[in-house]
Chain A
Amino acid sequence: MERLTLEEIISRFRSDRRFMENVRAFREIPAAAGRFSPLPAWLHPRLRAVLEARGFQNLYEHQAEALELVRRGRDVVLVTPTASGKTLCYNIPVLQRALEVPDSRALYLFPTKALAQDQLKEFGEMARGLGGEIKSHTYDGDTPDDARQAIRRQANVVITNPDMLHAGILPHHTKWQKLFSSLDYVVIDELHTYRGVFGSHLANVIRRLRRIARFYGKDPLFICCSATVANPGEHAARLVGKEFALIDRSGAPRAAKTFIFYNPPVVNRELGIRQSALAPARKIALQLMDNGIQTILFAGSRLTVEVLTKYLKDGAEKREPGAEKVVAGYRGGYLPELRRRIERDLREKNILGVVGTNALELGIDIGELDACIMVGYPGSIAGTWQQSGRAGRRADRSLALLIARSSPMDQFITENPEYFFAGSPEHCRINPDNLLILVSHIKCAAFELPFEEGESFGEEKLEEFLAYLEEKGILHSANGRWHWTAEHYPANEIGLRSIDAENVVVVDVTEKGGRRVIAEVDWDSAFTTVHEHAIYMVESEQYHVDRLDLDRREAHVRKVDVDYYTDAMTYTDIRVLDGFETKQDGNAVVEHGEVKVSRKVVGYKKIKFYTAENVGYGEVSLPEREMHTTSYWFTLPLAMLDTLPYTRAEMIDGLCGLAYAVHHIAAMILMADIRDMDRCVADRSGRWFVHFGPGGRKPASAGSDSPENFDPTVFIYDAYPGGIGFSDLLFRIHRDILAAAFRLISSCPCAAGCPGCVGPVLDVGYRAKKAALSVIEIALGSPPGKSPAPPALETGGENGRTESVRRKGRK
């Protein structure tokens, strides 16, 4: 069989009518020539020689610009595409400095250990070219104990992750005296991954880092790199607490790329169910591999990776016995030797297809392949560009294909491709002064170094925290300094990737007198997952919860074998405590502020496996939990909604459907997990509210039996106590969110609601989809129009008859 080139395959796609029916975007991204600058004159001759030997006779413009800015002492944040040579922008200044001042030190932060390893390799190669006296080392949980002391003393570059910096380095800074007292540069790569709770924690870790560096007389320069987001400069400034110079124009050359958005056909219009994304992925991947085109596939979960790998192996084997070897899985947990072997086989073209998880989108050293297939939207525009950047050789055309799943995000992106192609609307938001997070890090900081009178830490008043902690007996003041006076070691109790250290342990008591801890669940989800009589599942084993002891933070479970699982029923009640800002937009009153959310698990349903039949109910008696957090909300006039041809119940269905869509779009714009936020439809004054279950289910009833004459309000709130900084942005872009929700819902081909727009029809009712659209029209005051023009989300919607009232004072 004659092999086709990628160009030929792409043109066959284009002329394949059945294929094109499902294509929502078919973009040619043209090649671009590189813009170059000479190596700077001040470069150390040895470093120049190493660069030239590695083929760098010139730099890209953005690299040269970064080097100049760093040279002049500016903190720099770099926003350029994958494979644009970002690492040189920090490795060159660090190596240059180490040649000028041999004792100089730098700290590199990467979000994962794997990325740190890749960087170690790259830096090590350059440093070896310089003779090997400049040393770099990773320092993380895998670092052997006997190597640690040498690293602390000798490594010019310590490559670590935020968690290790927080719990392993800062609390022992005196052992790192050499590092801190010569710390010239801090490098933070993948800056956009530090958002939400994790980012808010990291901002405080950086505060601690800078505080310790000050103690040793240093104020290091920060060099940050980020994927393309809407607010890189602002984000860097908030994370590090310094002003940054922003470099966002890449001078790197770009090969031509064809980008296709593929939305699998609807197979059940009633339920809005589409063909699985795996089917076209398999078919297209095999077609590409048949023609010798190296393809990388990204799948959302480990399970999908395994399934897809098997599909492709089977497919290849069927065509040619023994050919299954041309396919490899590639996911977290693979050992380094296996990784190296796969990388080598890819380079030597022994492997044609490789399947990886989203988690490995960053920094795998597998060279550049011809085609990239994303099975499901990677969750962010930044991540999509990063994954697609895995395909694309210097000169040849490459292919990137995104196959949508049924989720609202996937559907929105594929149905509104302009949103993706016309610049990034995604924002990184953090709230470093979230009181819970802040107080945790004030404890850590006090452990590291006593606080002095007049010191500050964050934007809140430090003295009040110190007084509070002294009252709790955790700090003790003597002569104007606050000292740590507790036996425990605070950093151990504070995880950076969640908000509160409190967990409930799940104890297996199946064996008589036995106690085996099998899992931990965070305090919040304990209420819905390990309430009494819940069926808790770990690694496909079922456990019945006998007892939930909230005082001891323990759930006692027993192994069982039943044919059902349980689903907790909760109600959420929300009350506005304080509005920070309010505006009239169309017919809606839009606000953001502080709210009190009360949640209670009232019972559970038993649901049969496979059939999803409801086979029973039970009651649960657990205390109500209250949380104060920040929220964005908008209120609609009931009088106007009443003019719509829907019953009250249908209208509420519509509002719930709208809330579902808004919730998903908000999460998308904030690159947040859907669980980082929550939604509620209620009366603004909290006199009635709609129940939601965990999956968006709505046992359709309310605080009082029906909404009386109250104006309904849709709340989207931060699902973390104290808030994580989402709400004020949502307030600003309210109009754009509603417009996006309108497009999502109106372009969805399902009949009456599906998981891709307003939620599954069985949850929201049969008229929710229509009602939701009508509600949006009322809210906006005018039909939003169906033009697919991209929303200008950065502008912050002071649209229409807007009146902004700032009320800063709190109760």
Chain B
Amino acid sequence: MSIGDKLRRIRGEGGSGRKEQPPQTREEEGRSKDERIDDLRRRIREILERRPSGPAAARKSGIPRGALPGEEVRTRRGSVLVNSSRILRDDFHGKRRICETAMPMDRIGVLAGRSVFSPFRCEDALFLDTETTGLSGGTGTFPFLVGLGWFEGGNFVVNQIFARDFDEEAALLTCLSDVAREKKFLVTFNGRAFDLNLLATRYILNRIDNPLSGLPHLDLLFPSRRLLGHRLENSRLATLEKMVLGVRRDYDVPSSEIPQRYFDWLRSGNAGLMTDVLEHNRMDVATMAVLVGHLCDLFGSADGFAAAADGSDLLALARMCIDRGEKLTAERLLADLIAAGPGPLGTDAGTELSLLYKRSGRWAEAAGIWETMAGRDPGCLFALVELAKWHEHKTKNFKTAEALVAKALDNLPGDDIDWREALLYRLTRLKRKMGATKTE
């Protein structure tokens, strides 16, 4: 009796009153009805999409390999398929031309939160995105497709390394090593948590030195989430490219379907299943290239800021610059936002900038901002209180300070007890100080 029969017998499958049904795998049994319907849809679609290509046996003989784009590349550890394409300098990807991506390394450093990038050039960047057999991580997840991109003479090259079967993994990794050796740093989207971890695992499993482990790395997820995520429903790459970069995809494989597509490809050899995945991956790599350009452009130039940018993104960038000690950039961005006129954005920018000045001991400039803010909005609590502090501690003009606190109290919403207490405390102290000056 085969192991399969024994297992079925032990479990009592077949005696469970479901004899009329064809034998199902346990995996199938465990799935919900919706999933099974989705499965059916997928299978129907596959049948409709099926291009003339042979089954797995035929694939092994080499016939359907030709149906996939790309060419076979020989490495020290076997052959692998590499699909090479390029986006010419003047081609658009979304709203941007590919050649508009400049990567000033000081800005890359701010985005990455590390300053190691300064000796590099734009051409040293290796953009990387993988497609895998699962999203949960762990050693059993296989990155069957590694999409790589880099700038070359203003054009953007995308090379996709594709393992047609598991036995091409060593070749895939070797091929990646060869490319990585020519490059100086990595750009990914969520690579820190996912792609690079996974590749590190696979390098260990194949006993190949990991060429990526020492490379500086800009993971675009973090700056994107910080600079753009505040106005989007989420910070996924697909959302960013649609809402911010204006990239449209005609048809796209949902990421969640990709593992199953690969398994189906292994069994059926149907190249059509994979061409969509290759295109999906190529788009992702290209999107990263314009995304990094977009993020760098938010910094603007020394004499003005990019008109296309959303003001709230610039405020987020200014805050990030403050956190990373880039005071000058932050000052310039905030000043521009204030100059753009009144409004909540201007107020926030004023707040940030005045506090920046205050921390640097530039009181007069800070006070100037507060005066402007109080001028624009006479009830602006923040400006009134900061001015009061300034007059109390710096100019020692207690009377003005007292008037400001009184005004702030007038403008305070009735239910804000904490603020009220703090203001009353300050008022008492001011009165005491004024009394002391008088008696002197």
Contacts and interface: CB of A to CB of B under 8 A. Distances in A.
B10 A447 contact: no
Nearest to B203: A174
A553 interface: yes
Given A486-B27, A487-B259, A722-B10, A476 B136 contact: no
Interface string A177-198: 1000000000000000000000
B166 A478 contact: yes
B167 A479 contact: yes
Given A172-B138, A473-B263, A461 B10 contact: no
A486 B32 CA distance: 17
Most chain-B Cβ atoms within 10 A of its Cβ — which of A448, A461, A500, A628? A628
Contact of B201 (A174, A450, A483, A721): A174
Nearest to B197: A175
Interface stretch (A100-108, A340-348, A464-472, A601-609): A464-472
Given A465-B3, A476-B266, A811-B1, A171 B30 contact: no
Contacts of B200: 174
Interface residues of A, number: 54
A803 interface: no
A811 B1 CA distance: 8
A613 interface: no
Given A174-B201, A476-B263, A552 B32 contact: yes
A478 B167 contact: yes
Contact of A502 (B6, B30, B135, B259): B30
Contact of B166 (A171, A448, A476, A490): A476
Interface residues of B, number: 43
Contacts of A446: 140
B10 A623 contact: no
Contact of B266 (A447, A468, A485, A721): A485
A435 interface: yes
B134 A489 contact: yes
A436 B10 contact: yes
Contacts of A436: 7, 10-11
B16 interface: yes
Given A485-B133, A487-B133, A623 B3 contact: no
Given A488-B136, A624-B17, A553 B10 contact: no
Interface string A151-184: 0000000000000000000011111010000000
B139 A448 contact: yes
B360 interface: no
Interface string B141-175: 01000000000000000000000011100000000
B265 to A, nearest CB: 11
Contacts of A472: 25, 27
A478 to B, nearest CB: 4
A471 B201 contact: no
Given A481-B167, A553-B30, A623-B16, A171 B138 contact: yes
A235 to B, nearest CB: 24
Nearest to A551: B29
Contacts of B9: 628
Contact of A487 (B7, B14, B260): B260
Given A174-B200, A487-B260, A464 B2 contact: yes
B140 A448 contact: yes
Nearest to B14: A626
Given A487-B133, A623-B18, A171 B139 contact: yes
A260 to B, nearest CB: 46
B166 A449 contact: no
A551 B32 CA distance: 9
Contacts of B119: none
Contact of A450 (B166, B263, B266): B166
A706 B411 CA distance: 95
Interface string A793-811: 0000000000000000011
A478 B165 CA distance: 7
Interface in A620-643: 622-629
B165 A177 contact: no
Interface in A583-616: 598
Contact of B138 (A177, A435, A489, A623): A489
Given A171-B139, A487-B260, A553-B30, A435 B1 contact: no
Interface in B4-43: 4, 6-7, 9-12, 14-18, 25-27, 29-30, 32-33
B208 interface: no
Interface in B95-141: 133-140
A485 B263 contact: yes
A598 B15 contact: yes
A435 B10 CA distance: 8
A639 B10 CA distance: 35
Contacts of B10: 435-436, 627-629, 721-722
A473 B166 contact: no
B51 interface: no
Contact of A488 (B1, B14, B134): B134
B32 A435 contact: no
A439 interface: yes
A494 to B, nearest CB: 12
Nearest to B60: A478
B267 A473 contact: yes
A629 B10 CA distance: 7
Given A468-B2, A478-B166, A174 B139 contact: yes
B135 A721 contact: no
Contacts of B140: 171, 446-448, 484, 489-490
A500 B30 CA distance: 13
Nearest to A462: B3
A488 B141 CA distance: 9
Given A468-B3, A468-B7, A476-B266, A489 B136 contact: yes
A461 B3 contact: yes
A500 B18 CA distance: 19
A174 B205 contact: yes
B257 to A, nearest CB: 10
A460 interface: yes
B108 to A, nearest CB: 25
Nearest to A463: B3
B243 interface: no
Contacts of A489: 134, 136-138, 140
Contact of B3 (A448, A449, A464): A464
B232 interface: no
A466 B7 CA distance: 13
B134 A625 contact: no
A106 to B, nearest CB: 21
Contacts of A488: 134, 136
Most chain-B Cβ atoms within 10 A of its Cβ — which of A448, A449, A486, A598? A486
Among all A-B residue pairs, the 9 with the closest Cβ atoms: A623-B17, A447-B140, A626-B15, A626-B12, A479-B167, A484-B140, A174-B201, A478-B167, A464-B3
26 contacts: A174-B200, A174-B205, A436-B7, A446-B140, A447-B138, A449-B139, A450-B166, A460-B3, A464-B2, A471-B4, A474-B27, A478-B166, A478-B167, A481-B166, A481-B167, A484-B140, A485-B263, A487-B133, A488-B134, A552-B33, A623-B17, A624-B16, A626-B16, A627-B11, A810-B1, A811-B1
Given A435-B6, A436-B11, 8 more contacts: A177-B204, A435-B7, A468-B3, A468-B4, A474-B27, A479-B167, A623-B16, A628-B9
Interface of B: 1-4, 6-7, 9-12, 14-18, 25-27, 29-30, 32-33, 133-140, 142, 165-167, 200-201, 204-205, 259-260, 263, 266-267
Interface of A: 171-175, 177, 435-436, 439, 446-450, 460-461, 464-465, 467-468, 471-474, 476, 478-479, 481, 483-490, 500, 502, 551-553, 598, 622-629, 721-722, 810-811
